[in-house]
Structure 1
Amino acid sequence: MGTPDFAVAPLDALLTAGVNVVGVITNPDKPAGRGQKIQEAAVKKYAVEKGLKILQPEKFRNEDFLAELKSLEADLQVVVAFKMLPEVVWNMPKYGTLNLHASLLPQYRGAAPINWSIINGDKETGVSTFLLKHEIDTGNIIFQEKTEIGENDNAEVIHDKLMNIGAGLVVKTVKAIEAGDYPQIPQESIAAEELKSAPKIFKDDCKIDWSKNIDSIHNLIRGLSPYPAAWTELCPIEEGKKIGLKVFATEKIVEDHNHQIGSLHTDGKSHLKVAVEGGYLAITMLQQAGKKRMKVEDFLRGFQQIRQYHL
């Protein structure tokens, strides 16, 4: 059961390991993008390619869907990056429902664990497998695996790392359940000074506050890159319209300065720096509203009037 690319890798790993996958459950196809073309989930595309049986329920409590799911006679369900399931679904198989979560539980329960671990400046993260129960992301942990978060790693880099580690961990967990030899560690027994959560991210969460310190801003930008992306606005010094900017990458320049916090510094050709608490953040990749994502040099070449704006 899954939808995005993150769920394709574990499915592929299970098939490669010789696990008998009797069906794939994913979201219904839906229109997306400017042309509103019908889009299929990444998991569906992969399942079609492999000739697997596919179910795409609109509602999980639908009787026809439940009957069809039961007819698959699955011993175990595996959930990766999917929706909340009712008990009638997750409790159906003999061995229950296994979930892969992109954090070291009990930390970062919720919808956006990868983003929040980077935004909070964590130095490591990982993946956890556990069996579903009533409260979200609270089931007994079976296995975990850690990985480092580099100082400049963004959400895309960590997503791909965890996707590959997670694929192996799902296979390891399924094989352990099959052998009847697997730990079940209650999350309450794992010591944690403070539990951090990973709620869904909204547009307001993505707005850059240039008054924060250099690390906080840098972490926010990379934690939201490439999606949904941190954003700011260029404000005209004289009259004119504000211009929206998405910021995808920055480099930290740690040094003392006396410039006003949030002020822009540029040669108009190769660099665009923002003075912040603790130094400067050099913007290296950005996107002007209505334009393509580009390197800062290309942006400055096409936006000669940059000195007439401030943040």
Structure 2
Amino acid sequence: MKKEDLRIIFMGTPEFAVESLKNLVEGGYNVVAVVTQPDKAVGRHQDQLQSSQVKQYAMEHNLPILQPVKMKDPEFVELLQSYKADLQVVVAFRMLPEVVWDMPRFGTFNVHAALLPQYRGAAPINWAIINGETETGVTTFFLDKDIDTGKIIMQKHFPIPDDADVEYVYDGLMKLGAEAAKETIDMIIANDGNVDAMEQSQFADSEGKELNSAPKIFKETCKIDWNKTAKEVYDFVRGLSPYPGTWTNMTEDNKTSVLKIFKTAKTDIHDDAKPGTVFKEKNSLYVMCSDCCLEIMELQMAGKKRMDAKAFLNGMRDKTFTLE
């Protein structure tokens, strides 16, 4: 079978998925339709509709677009069947019902931004960095009835530098995921669909390492706990930067507001002060954690733009404040 003969339906929504779709389209693969989320209401009065980035790319390349509200909708299922896809490729999309993922003769595979079975869930990139991992990667696997549990086709590894934030790892995995999607399709074509995928239990740590999950990130998730070690807070900040960003409560003159923190630096400065205590030294800002101080490099006050510590301290001048 040639790649031009393999009928592919691509499913995805955000920028992360666009790179994979682009790789297939520009690589000459036969993408017969694209499935993405319905347009989202945006604007102050929710009176404008915004298309997903995948839809925007599909429109630019005249690809048929399907935007079901419910994946089990009989009309959508019937329309999906009409494309007679041999394979479905899913990147950063929602959970699919069996009637959808089991439809193509070669099945449906997903590109996940982690080395499964580690970091199953909605936010694998964030949690890998938050937990201080030095390596992550992408996994392609066939979908089954549960979330991120299907048989693994291939994995590609990606190192996480100690100073890397989400943006760096996201960009790297986006490109790596596109490569993995293409290579997985080539493997399926070469073997006429008979790929030797492996159970995830075969990838589990031989020493029985506990599996980390990657649940969805909410505002409450992003609050800094200064009672943790400086290294833990450092990883927490970069694991949520630049978006959605970590935050802490800042109290000044009995008024409390939210202070977002985007970048920190580790130090060897120790003090007996309680966690959350603020130290100002010239143009530098430090906060005490459970073991030592962490330097705050970039932050944002409520209603203000993101700034460095020097600009923040210039604005605060001789004001006294605490973080909690």
Cα separation, partners in 2 of 1:84 and 1:308, compared to 1, 3 Å: closer
Quick one: percent identity of the two aligned structures? 48
User: Where does the alignment leave 5 or more consecutive residues of structure 2 unmatched?
Assistant: 1-10
Where does residue 268 of structure 2 map in the other structure?
254
Where does residue 8 of structure 2 map in the other structure?
none
Q: Does 1:3 align with 2:19?
A: no
Where does residue 310 of structure 2 map in the other structure?
297
Q: Tell me, in whole angstroms, the C-alpha distance in 1 between the residues paired with 2:286 and 2:44.
A: 33
Residue 108 of structure 2, aligned match among 80, 97, 101 = 97
How much has 1:57 moved relative to structure 2?
0.6
Alignment of 1:35-46 (within 5 A): 36=46, 37-46=48-57
How much has 1:152 moved relative to structure 2?
1.3
Asked if the contact 2:18/2:54 (under 8 Å) is kept, the reply is yes
Where does residue 82 of structure 2 map in the other structure?
71
Cα separation, partners in 2 of 1:187 and 1:66, compared to 1, 3 Å: same
How much has 1:33 moved relative to structure 2?
4.6
Q: Tell me, in whole angstroms, the C-alpha distance in 2 between the residues paired with 1:188 and 1:168.
A: 24
Number of corresponding residues: 308
TM-score, structure 1 normalization: 0.94
TM-score, structure 2 normalization: 0.91
Where does residue 279 of structure 1 map in the other structure?
292
Where does residue 168 of structure 1 map in the other structure?
179
Alignment of 1:149-298 (within 5 A): 149-180=160-191, 182-192=195-205, 193-236=209-252, 238=253, 240-267=254-281, 270-298=283-311
Q: Tell me, in whole angstroms, the C-alpha distance in 2 between the residues paired with 1:286 and 1:48.
A: 38
Q: Tell me, in whole angstroms, the C-alpha distance in 1 between the residues paired with 2:295 and 2:49.
A: 39
User: Where does the alignment leave 5 or more consecutive residues of structure 1 unmatched?
Assistant: none
Deviations 1:183-236 (A, max 9, x none): 311101223211111111222221101011011101111111112211101113
Q: Name the amino acid aligned to 1:28.
A: P
Q: Tell me, in whole angstroms, the C-alpha distance in 1 between the residues paired with 2:322 and 2:211.
A: 41
Q: Tell me, in whole angstroms, the C-alpha distance in 2 between the residues paired with 1:130 and 1:7.
A: 16
Cα separation, partners in 2 of 1:306 and 1:168, compared to 1, 3 Å: farther
Q: Tell me, in whole angstroms, the C-alpha distance in 1 between the residues paired with 2:318 and 2:219.
A: 27
Asked if the contact 2:88/2:108 (under 8 Å) is kept, the reply is yes
Asked if the contact 2:91/2:112 (under 8 Å) is kept, the reply is yes
Q: Does 1:115 align with 2:126?
A: yes
Deviations 1:38-86 (A, max 9, x none): 2111101111111111011111111211111111111100000000110
Alpha-carbon RMSD across the aligned residues, in angstroms, is 1.6
Q: Which moved more, 1:249-258 or 1:109-118?
A: 249-258
